Structure 1
Amino acid sequence: MELTGKLKILLVLGCILSAIGSVLTLGPFVYIYFIIKEILTVGGNINLVNTGVVIHYGWLALIFAISGIIVTFAALMCTHVVAFKTIKNVRYDLLKHLATLPLGFHTMNPSGKIRKIVETNTFQLEDFIAHRLPDLVGSLVTPAAILILLLYFDWVLGIICLIPLIAGFAIQYSIMKRSSQKFLEIYQNSLEDMNNSAVEYVRGISVVKVFGQTIYSFKNFYDSIIRYKDFVLKYTLSMEKSMSLFVTIINGAFFLLVPAGIILSSYATNYESFVLSFIFYAIFAPVTASMLMKIMYTASDQMMVSESLKKIDMLFNEKPLKEPENPQTPENNNITFNNVSFSYISEHKEELALEDVSFKVNEGKIMALVGPSGGGKTTIANLIPRFWDVNKGEIRIGNVDIQEIAYSELMDRMSIVFQDVYLFKDSILNNIKFSKPDAGREEVLKAARLAQCEDILEKLPDGIDTVIGTKGIYLSGGEKQRIALARAILKDSPIIIFDEATAFADPENEYKIQRAFEELTKNKTVIMIAHRLSSIRNVDEILVLKKGKILERGSHDELLKNEGLYATMWKEYQRGLSWDVGKQIEDNRSGGDFPDSNKLQDSLSGYEIENKRGEVDPNA
């Protein structure tokens, strides 16, 4: 009810109308009883039947039937309006809330789980409000009306009809109470696991196809399907006997009614009246059973929706990124790390991704982060925009702790270009404008030109208005990177966080990315994650990271003179540039060896950190 907000009155009206409609649908049975009574009163002689009375009762039965349909339809209209508006509001609020949660939440929670809550669980809520809730109200009111009818015409036959119904529900309640809640919880969790594995399977389909594998080879997905199937099958078989017994008992009123009727007929003072009552109960008892069956199914749906609401509430209860009570505005764009320590939390262990890291990047300067995988480069880049908050120490921009800066202002101050670029299935124009929605067309075209995107736009059928992902139009990794740079140039933020992607670009794209990067970083405070050491020879300062600590710092020339890890990496990088695959194979055949990989391995040994969650390496 809380989720319906201002629509509560309309929902209550729908439930009241549903209750009225359920009672009205019983009217025809009452008037059919009076019609049969009128016929039996004259000994079954049609010529003696008062046709006026029969027609009167017939019209009343028809009126009640039509009124029941109209009122029930009106009830469903009310509940459907409430359901559709509620589900729209809930999904909107969920997505809005998700946007306020730190990136750590999204990393720790698989997208399949979140997708199931936003789509499947909210759909179950919609279905419950639109259909099951009015059915439940109607089903609860109907038994009261039925009980009155059963006891009104002949209380003895009425009690006989109620005995199997009461017995059946008592048995089923005892069984369902022990198992249903536990079943629903496991059922929801099994669906989540299967959704998570399905999303992972789809995302990794290219790897599956490349290695010629099938769904049976993708163990996580296949196992989640088998677990779901086995659990549902096991539960269904466990309920087979009890459910069969329940259905048999509640539908057994007729079989109990026949012998009871034979016995009671001998004691009847008015035989015709007794026969009339017996016929009514013989017709009405199965109808009663089917109406009461609705209660069981609706109750089951109610338990299912309760589990869905728990999942929705769980998502709403996740704490959003904390906003400062009295936000401050930095005077400049210096970036300072003061004794920062941070760890990614996992189920198995907690290991520091950064430990007592301190450095400063002055406004307008460029700092490069280098080091082996797991050193903490991406962690530093993620902490500056508060994708996570530090466990210890502080990060400052212009002498203001970033946690004391309004998040909207913090994000306005920086542009982030990561290696894994995501483009929406929309026009290139709108993809670039994503960083500045109010930008004009000419402004976007200028940003695209500065990002060296002119050759991309020239080859596309609709230029900058071309929709990516339609008609077989896709961009290469280097081209995507340039579109991402155009976004950042358009935003024109004073701080740039850049994960260099030229390591996997062809020479032409690499050259254009470098030129776009030069445009982007003019007079900006820049922190870049470098993968090709040649691209950072002229930066202001280089930090060499190892296992979350700063191993070395200085300019390119200074670090070469130190003859430490950076100097070793530079030498191996230079050797890699001059390495000729064909020549090396020939040398190897004649007794030579590949480049001194053992030396490089010794230098870099111990630098790789175990994947935190078994899914992604956030320190890459």
Structure 2
Amino acid sequence: MNTTTFQGRINLEKVKTLIPYMKSYNKKMALGICSGTLNQVFSITSSALAAYLVGLAATGGSAEKILSLFWLLAALAIGRTAMVYAEMYLVHDVAYSILVDYRNIMYRAIERIAPAYMLKKRSGDIASSVMADVEVLEVFYAHTVGAYIIAIIAPLTFLVILAYIHWLLPLVIFPFLLLVATIPFWFSKKASQQGKEIRAKLGTVNAEVVDGVQGMREIVAFGRGKSYLKKLENGTYDLGRSQIAEGKRLGLEGGLINAAMSLGMVSILAVSSFLVLEGTIDSALIPTIIMLSVYVFSPIVDVSGTARNLGSIGASAQRVFSILNTPTPVEDKAEATSEGPIVSHIQYNKVKFSYNPSEEDVLKEVSFDVKPGETVALVGHSGAGKTTCANLLLRFWDVRGGSIKIGDYDLRDLTQEKLRDMVAVVSQDVYLFNMSIRENIRLGKPEATDEEVEAASKLALAHDFLVKLPQGYETNVGERGVQLSGGQRQRIAIARALIKNSPILLMDEAVSNLDAENERAVQKAISELQKGRTTLVIAHRLSTIMAADKIVVLDKGKVAEIGSHDALVKKNGVYSRLIASQNIGVLE
């Protein structure tokens, strides 16, 4: 098997993965294919009849016969109009319904594999797959599946009609039909390469644009507008060159297809003329034969156009299914529980973990506990394993060794829904969605009443500034909450955690980016939030650490020390050196 054939098979394998998603729409697609087939039949029949009427009139046919056939021609024209509408409506209804399904399952897949998958991909590239790559698949469902079936049925029907006129005619045109049908597959290797290259470069350009839009403040502040624009221009120019190369291939394929079709038409005209001269067929049939020959090629030329795009379709399918088929990092056990209250006692027992099994462990037999109602601070150098401890508590990944328990339950014995319901998170980088403040707070409890939202905001010390905004709680915060200050965003995040009312609170450097005034306000709100809750804090600021009941010091993935601030300072160990080097904040 040569490389081109092998590559063509790979390309078709990618496209075949799209077929099972049509299952729910088989009946509607079948009706669309029937409508398309009838459209072709009515089209060729009406064209052949019109050509025959011309020939009949030119050779002196009777007016009565011409008139009787004219009404049949009118009926065929009306029938074709109805079938064109039915085909376009049905196949596009199916195609866009499937695209809706794809996007929904992709959203669920991204939620299922996040955040592990997100660490390896750029958000703009993922957005490109969800939107642009899925959109490309419309070509397959609306213009390929049914068209291929029609391209088999319709030409066979027309070849039978030609054979009825004379057995030699289909034999003359068939080799050219075969040639037109196979030309796209000559270029399948290059089509697959170009399709993959273009989709990848388009994803990169989309990612760069998203980065530029989200980071516009920094680009402007550092005067990097021209250099970033140049970067975008280079990426766009590179994408354009790949698209031009694809256009050249498409042009060559189209030229060869048109050449093969023209040779077929010339051949059938020559043979038909010879048969007329021999007296084998009536000269009035010449227009009909020519018209039949055109329509024999027509469905195959249509699908050849889509076949030339199989490279892009296959590449888009591959990018879509790379998301859908990504293994889930964590899965619920069949016997996992979601029942009853669980004591909020967190226990890390000789926990081992690495993000890549082939790499050194990030956590090495880490053991500590957070008793119900207790606040424990995790401190250590960057890369010591603090955030990894938090990620494992949320079960974004599963431990490689040891265990993490809440109460008497290993996290793996709880459903993810139950676990996430038990933990409220306030992080350093607060993400607010581009919607109202009220709806952003309700993210913690979607069914919360307006009164509950305002009560949580008051406890978070956010109510006073919220009611002063132009639309109060209905104020849209803008993308990522750009309309608000850092301290305001943090207090909304605290209100969101308060309204969730979970027994466990996880705080990831929640005040590290705030000035002293905002920190004092947020710390006061945090104090309200911590009441009665088991709290695990990742902190750099000494003021936050000193407020903890217990401090766990991590060093190179191991627990180096555990104790209170005063006890650890007196010990003069890792914690003391951290303070001395000001790696965890400024002594205040």
TM range (shorter): 0.7 to 0.9
When residues 450 and 22 of structure 1 are mapped into structure 2, their CA distance, relative to the original with a 3 A threshold, is same
Equivalent residue, structure 2, for 1:91: 103
Counterpart-to-counterpart distance in 2, 1:180 and 1:450:
61
1:521 aligns with 2:530: yes
SS at match of 2:343: coil
Give the letter for the 1:492 counterpart.
N
Deviations 1:429-451 (A, max 9, x none): 11111111121111111110010
Equivalent residue, structure 1, for 2:324: 316
TM-score (norm 2): 0.87
1:412 deviates by: 1.4
SS at match of 1:121: helix
Counterpart-to-counterpart distance in 2, 1:14 and 1:519:
62
1:203 aligns with 2:214: yes
Equivalent residue, structure 1, for 2:501: 492
SS at match of 2:540: coil
Equivalent in 191, 203, 211 of residue 202 of structure 2: 191
When residues 159 and 97 of structure 1 are mapped into structure 2, their CA distance, relative to the original with a 3 A threshold, is same
SS at match of 1:292: helix
Equivalent in 145, 155, 158 of residue 146 of structure 1: 158
> How do residues 93-172 of structure 1 correspond to structure 2 at under 5 angstroms?
93-156=105-168, 159-170=171-182, 172=183
Counterpart-to-counterpart distance in 1, 2:336 and 2:176:
69
1:297 aligns with 2:297: no
1:58 aligns with 2:58: no
Equivalent residue, structure 1, for 2:187: 176
Equivalent in 340, 347, 355 of residue 344 of structure 1: 355
When residues 577 and 106 of structure 1 are mapped into structure 2, their CA distance, relative to the original with a 3 A threshold, is closer
SS at match of 1:395: strand
Equivalent residue, structure 2, for 1:368: 377
1:268 aligns with 2:296: no
SS at match of 2:355: strand
1:177 deviates by: 4.1
Equivalent residue, structure 2, for 1:462: 471
Equivalent residue, structure 2, for 1:530: 539
Deviations 1:262-286 (A, max 9, x none): 655553367xx23x33343445544
Deviations 1:444-468 (A, max 9, x none): 1111001010232132012112222
Equivalent residue, structure 1, for 2:86: 74
1:150 deviates by: 3.0
Deviations 1:285-316 (A, max 9, x none): 44544443112013334564444344433333
Equivalent in 388, 393, 412 of residue 421 of structure 2: 412
1:555 deviates by: 0.6
Counterpart-to-counterpart distance in 1, 2:450 and 2:254:
66
Q: Which region of structure 1 is more displaced relative to structure 2, 322-331 or 438-447?
A: 322-331
Q: Bigger radius of gyration, 1 or 2?
A: 1
Counterpart-to-counterpart distance in 1, 2:37 and 2:434:
48
Q: Which region of structure 1 is more displaced relative to structure 2, 413-422 or 351-360?
A: 351-360
Equivalent residue, structure 2, for 1:10: 28
When residues 216 and 226 of structure 1 are mapped into structure 2, their CA distance, relative to the original with a 3 A threshold, is farther
Deviations 1:385-439 (A, max 9, x none): 1011111111111131111112111111111111100111111111111111121
Equivalent residue, structure 2, for 1:278: 286
Deviations 1:202-233 (A, max 9, x none): 33333332233347547875564444334333
When residues 177 and 85 of structure 1 are mapped into structure 2, their CA distance, relative to the original with a 3 A threshold, is closer
Equivalent residue, structure 2, for 1:545: 554
Equivalent residue, structure 2, for 1:586: none
Q: Which region of structure 1 is more displaced relative to structure 2, 55-64 or 307-316?
A: 307-316
Give the letter for the 2:322 counterpart.
M
1:95 deviates by: 1.6
Deviations 1:564-608 (A, max 9, x none): 2322333454998699xxxxxxxxxxxxxxxxxxxxxxxxxxxxx
Counterpart-to-counterpart distance in 1, 2:185 and 2:325:
34
Equivalent residue, structure 2, for 1:382: 391
Equivalent residue, structure 1, for 2:512: 503
Deviations 1:472-497 (A, max 9, x none): 97101111000000111111111110
1:261 deviates by: 6.0
Name structure 1 gaps, 5 residues minimum: 43-48, 580-620
When residues 429 and 173 of structure 1 are mapped into structure 2, their CA distance, relative to the original with a 3 A threshold, is closer
Deviations 1:504-542 (A, max 9, x none): 223321111011000000121111111211222232111
Q: Matched residue pairs, number?
A: 566
SS at match of 2:362: strand
Indicate if the aligned counterparts of 1:416 and 1:488 stay in contact, CA closer than 8 A: yes
SS at match of 1:103: coil
1:384 deviates by: 0.3
1:20 aligns with 2:32: no
Give the letter for the 1:496 counterpart.
L
Indicate if the aligned counterparts of 1:161 and 1:253 stay in contact, CA closer than 8 A: yes
1:92 deviates by: 1.9
Indicate if the aligned counterparts of 2:147 and 2:299 stay in contact, CA closer than 8 A: no
Equivalent residue, structure 2, for 1:39: 57
For CA contacts below 8 A with separation 6 or more, give which structure has more relative contact order.
2
Deviations 1:74-95 (A, max 9, x none): 2322223323333223322222
When residues 351 and 477 of structure 1 are mapped into structure 2, their CA distance, relative to the original with a 3 A threshold, is farther
Deviations 1:188-209 (A, max 9, x none): 3333333334433433333332
Equivalent residue, structure 2, for 1:512: 521
Give the letter for the 1:195 counterpart.
N
When residues 522 and 409 of structure 1 are mapped into structure 2, their CA distance, relative to the original with a 3 A threshold, is same
CA RMSD of aligned residues (A): 3.0
Name structure 2 gaps, 5 residues minimum: 1-18
Deviations 1:84-143 (A, max 9, x none): 333223322222233233421222333234323322232233343234333333332221
SS at match of 1:559: helix
When residues 265 and 27 of structure 1 are mapped into structure 2, their CA distance, relative to the original with a 3 A threshold, is closer
SS at match of 1:337: strand
1:326 deviates by: 1.9
1:53 deviates by: 1.5
When residues 197 and 18 of structure 1 are mapped into structure 2, their CA distance, relative to the original with a 3 A threshold, is same
Equivalent residue, structure 1, for 2:9: none
1:238 deviates by: 5.3
Equivalent residue, structure 1, for 2:244: 233
SS at match of 2:368: strand
Counterpart-to-counterpart distance in 1, 2:425 and 2:63:
86
When residues 54 and 394 of structure 1 are mapped into structure 2, their CA distance, relative to the original with a 3 A threshold, is same
Equivalent residue, structure 1, for 2:223: 212
1:479 aligns with 2:499: no
1:235 deviates by: 4.4
Counterpart-to-counterpart distance in 1, 2:50 and 2:321:
49
TM-score (norm 1): 0.83
SS at match of 1:344: coil
SS at match of 1:467: coil
1:240 deviates by: 5.0
Give the letter for the 1:26 counterpart.
I
Equivalent residue, structure 1, for 2:6: none
1:544 deviates by: 1.9
Q: Which region of structure 1 is more displaced relative to structure 2, 238-247 or 557-566?
A: 238-247
When residues 511 and 69 of structure 1 are mapped into structure 2, their CA distance, relative to the original with a 3 A threshold, is same
1:259 deviates by: 5.4
1:252 aligns with 2:263: yes
Counterpart-to-counterpart distance in 2, 1:402 and 1:503:
29
